[in-house]
Structure 1
Amino acid sequence: NTDMLQMREGLGIIRRNLVNVIDAIAKFAAENRDLPCLGFTHYQPAQLTTVGKRACLWTSDFIRDLEDVEYRLENLQFRGVKVTTGTQASYLALFDGSAEKVKQLDVMVAGKMGFAEGKIAPVTGQTYSRKVDASIAQVLAGIGASVHKFCNDIRLLANLKEMEEPFGKSQVGSSAMAYKRNPMRCERATAIARFLMDVSTSPLHTAAEQWFERTLDDSANKRLAMAECFLAADAILRIVLNVSSGLVVYPATIAARVAGELPFMATENILMAAVKAGGSRQYLHEKIRQHSQASAQRVKTEGLDNDLISRLQADDAFANLDYEKLLDPSTFTGLATIQVDDFIAGCVEPIRQKYADLIGKADSELSV
């Protein structure tokens, strides 16, 4: 029963941390809702998105984690007074065979501990089912996966110099190379997240290993695994809150990377515009193919800038097009900006309203 109280309190702390992480990343998403950036699939350049839309993907994962935590809190059952093998035989003897009094005692004790009558385990062995531990551990491991994905993305973006975690004024980025600014916070979080995902499998083995009403080989393992799961989840959420509250964006670098890839992405629009101007689609398609391959070869083998647009502008078949309009990055992001607005209004705001008393109450101070 004490374990149930501790886990209920622990899940409450995790819920508070998640709410604050969701709020912080959503604020970042709103601030950058319409900033076009290069999308990546397979870590290769893909269609444009926006910095804010990408942040919504991170936020969405943490919302799923919050929903899982809420489910576990809402369905957590108190073991109650069931005695050694769960039959309540000792209490039945104490109350001279009155089953009603035994049941009443179960409800009274649960109520004193803050569990309603419908939140008492109907049957148990000597302990509550260790499947409870396993289920909670998997929820915490899910948080580990979300944190790992978020922090890995920030680490990759830092390498691209598009975005980075906050960096202290006197912080040492590398003990060997003074010029470096290693993503130390995110590296720390991914390391702990991997540990969390690994240790979360142990409660499953403990649940599987139980013999009949109970065997004691669960005890030492449980006291290590469940405590470490909660401590690790709390630590990585605090790191994410610290990072997401101080993310630094470099729009000029983002724009330069977009400009380097956009000419290739814009060829379909350029082709359609040239056809509308009276050109032959088959002829124009072949011209674009030739110019694109020549430009790509220049980029790959000579390390020079992408000159596809200047090549097209110099070609009479494409000379009179409105390239400023055709190459406006905002026209390549689809509904990304609207999706950010809709997501925040429909998914984040209800959380902010529901947990208004928790926002701003999580500790994100780190020693770096």
Structure 2
Amino acid sequence: MTTRYDTPEMAALWNEDAKFRSWLLVEKTVAAVQAEIGIIPKTAARAIQRASFKIKEIDEFERITNHDVIAFTRSVAKSAAAAGKYVHYGLTSYDVVDTALSLRCASALEILQTALGGLRIETARLALEHKHTPMMGRTHGVHAEPITFGLKCLSWFEETERNIGRLAAAASEMRHGKISGVVGAYTQLGPDVEARVLSRLNLKPEPVSTQVIPRDRHAAMLNTLALVATGMERIATEIRNLQRTEVGELGEPFAKGQRGSSAMPHKKNPIICERITSLARLIRAYAQVGLENICLWHERDLSNSANERVIIPESFTLTHYMIRKLTGVLSGLVVRPDRMLANLESSGQTFLSQGVMLELVRAGMDKDRAYKLVQELAFTCQTQGGSLPELCAANPEISKLLDRRARSRAFDLKRLLRNVDAVYRRVGLTRRSKTR
């Protein structure tokens, strides 16, 4: 596993020391509650509150026991001296591991929500700045009808909004723990202990657990991260396509001293957007593994354990990295309205075809005849040059049916974009509300 895509926040949350600290927090909270109820001596609980661990010692114990939780509890018990026998009293490993994992996942989801808020701000800024910047809309990669670049960015903004909501929902779903014992039946410690412990950790009891928290929660979380990553990939893919030399409408920021190719000095490649695409594929693959982990045997097996040590920390880390990188791309995005307009006009204004057809139908022409007639003229533009308005004006059949006012209406670019403001109002994005 590479550290190339680490972020400071995620590295601090998912390192070994942080893992053991989260385990220790659960152990200490359980001991405190047990002492209050009278399960263990209060003096023992106070000693456990002062207990610590040593990673080197844990590693040494694990080489002997081949069990990381036992190795951890041995190190903690050793530091608690005589009170050490009450460390992990009545608990099973995954009372600690799963509860602590929920705490870290919830924290990681909050970090992502904050980061995605920054991306949302950049999409909002672009949407507002380019609300009325016309460009060609493309379907199947082919010129369709005009949109504005702002409208494209507004779509990014709205999807980012949805993904922030999904992260919040995932955080709520992951705020569940369990202190229910080896098969979830509370054979040693009762639900009252669990309720007190989890309340102090700001978690809710898993309604029905086995030895573990059901893995559908983790799978839903990982699939949420995959949705976030894929949403970013959609933006990155659009930038990549619009940075093509023959399109040239957008460009990744290119820093002073940056090199695009070891062989070709002229190159400016969309490398960050390509990297986002690459990492999104990996996060989706990790989400698939999360789905496989749902079907554990009986009250649990270990088939989820090894892969979760990879897929959960890496999914969070890569998603956070991608958010930061894409936010930087959008912050410095090169937008070329002149190229957008040139591309819009490059196809002889054939994008007006639907409007012309509808005006002909309104004037009394059969729709199929109108379609064929306008199609012939549009194809002539594409093969022989000229513009659709010119060819329509020169066509006797059209001139007979459409007066100057009707032709003006059909050929009006502003009319095609007249409802852009309505979409913005529906989203609720204004200069005052852009950060919501």
Q: What TM-score do the two structures reach when normalised by structure 1? A: 0.79
Alignment partner, residue 298 of structure 1: 384
Q: Per-residue deviation at 1:338?
A: 2.8
Q: Does the 8 Å CA contact 1:82/1:124 hold for their aligned counterparts?
A: yes
1:167 aligned onto 2:265: no
Alignment partner, residue 311 of structure 2: 225
Aligned partner letter, 1:114:
N
Q: Does the 8 Å CA contact 1:271/1:281 hold for their aligned counterparts?
A: no
SS in 2 for 1:90: coil
Residues 315, 211 of structure 1: alpha-carbon distance in 2 compared, 3 angstrom cutoff: closer
Q: Per-residue deviation at 1:292?
A: 3.7
| Higher mean C-alpha displacement, 150-159 vs 69-78 | 69-78
- Say which of 120, 124, 140 aligns to 1:26: 124
Distance 1:269 1:206 in 2: 53
Q: What are the within-5 Å matches in structure 2 for residues 215-294 of structure 1?
A: 215-261=301-347, 263-267=349-353, 269=355, 291-294=377-380
Structure whose CA Rg is larger: 2
Distance 1:216 1:284 in 2: 67
Q: What are the within-5 Å matches in structure 2 for residues 324-363 of structure 1?
A: 327-345=411-429, 349=433, 352-353=435-436
Aligned partner letter, 1:221:
N
Q: Per-residue deviation at 1:264?
A: 1.8
SS in 1 for 2:435: helix
Residues 315, 79 of structure 1: alpha-carbon distance in 2 compared, 3 angstrom cutoff: closer
Aligned partner letter, 1:332:
L
How many aligned positions are there?
A: 329
1:201 aligned onto 2:288: yes
Aligned partner letter, 1:330:
K
Structure with larger RCO (C-alpha < 8 A, sep 6+): 1
1:86 aligned onto 2:172: no
Distance 1:273 1:71 in 2: 48
SS in 2 for 1:39: strand
Residues 344, 187 of structure 1: alpha-carbon distance in 2 compared, 3 angstrom cutoff: farther
Distance 1:180 1:63 in 2: 34
SS in 1 for 2:108: helix
Q: Per-residue deviation at 1:293?
A: 3.8
Q: Per-residue deviation at 1:260?
A: 2.1
Aligned partner letter, 1:214:
R
Q: Per-residue deviation at 1:190?
A: 0.5
Alignment RMSD: 3.0
Aligned partner letter, 1:333:
L
Q: Per-residue deviation at 1:284?
A: 9.5
SS in 2 for 1:89: coil
Distance 1:221 1:138 in 2: 15
Residues 171, 325 of structure 1: alpha-carbon distance in 2 compared, 3 angstrom cutoff: farther
- Say which of 2, 13, 35 aligns to 2:133: 35
Q: Per-residue deviation at 1:196?
A: 0.6
Q: Does the 8 Å CA contact 1:32/1:52 hold for their aligned counterparts?
A: yes
Counting aligned pairs with the same residue, the percent is 22
Q: Does the 8 Å CA contact 2:179/2:194 hold for their aligned counterparts?
A: yes
SS in 1 for 2:131: coil
Aligned partner letter, 2:181:
V
Distance 2:172 2:391 in 1: 63
Q: Does the 8 Å CA contact 1:33/1:51 hold for their aligned counterparts?
A: yes
For residues 177-227 of structure 1, the C-alpha deviation after alignment (integer angstroms, 9 at most, x for no partner) is 21121101100111001111112111211221x111111232111111111
Tell me, which stretches of 5 or more residues in structure 2 are unaligned? 1-98
Q: Does the 8 Å CA contact 2:237/2:277 hold for their aligned counterparts?
A: yes
Q: Does the 8 Å CA contact 1:36/1:330 hold for their aligned counterparts?
A: no
For residues 109-164 of structure 1, the C-alpha deviation after alignment (integer angstroms, 9 at most, x for no partner) is 1122122xxx2112212221122211111111111211111110110111110112
Alignment partner, residue 100 of structure 2: 2
Q: Does the 8 Å CA contact 1:38/1:45 hold for their aligned counterparts?
A: yes
SS in 2 for 1:214: coil
1:59 aligned onto 2:179: no
Q: Does the 8 Å CA contact 1:80/1:109 hold for their aligned counterparts?
A: no
Alignment partner, residue 303 of structure 1: none
Distance 2:285 2:123 in 1: 26
For residues 240-294 of structure 1, the C-alpha deviation after alignment (integer angstroms, 9 at most, x for no partner) is 1111222221111111111123622335556788999xx9968999886665443
Tell me, which stretches of 5 or more residues in structure 1 are unaligned? 92-101, 300-305, 354-368
Distance 1:10 1:327 in 2: 52
1:48 aligned onto 2:132: no
| Higher mean C-alpha displacement, 66-75 vs 32-41 | 66-75
Distance 1:253 1:294 in 2: 24
Alignment partner, residue 235 of structure 2: 150
| Higher mean C-alpha displacement, 46-55 vs 73-82 | 73-82
Q: Per-residue deviation at 1:335?
A: 1.1
SS in 1 for 2:349: helix
Residues 104, 275 of structure 1: alpha-carbon distance in 2 compared, 3 angstrom cutoff: closer
Q: What are the within-5 Å matches in structure 2 for residues 174-213 of structure 1?
A: 174-208=261-295, 210-213=296-299
Q: Per-residue deviation at 1:13?
A: 0.9
SS in 1 for 2:137: strand
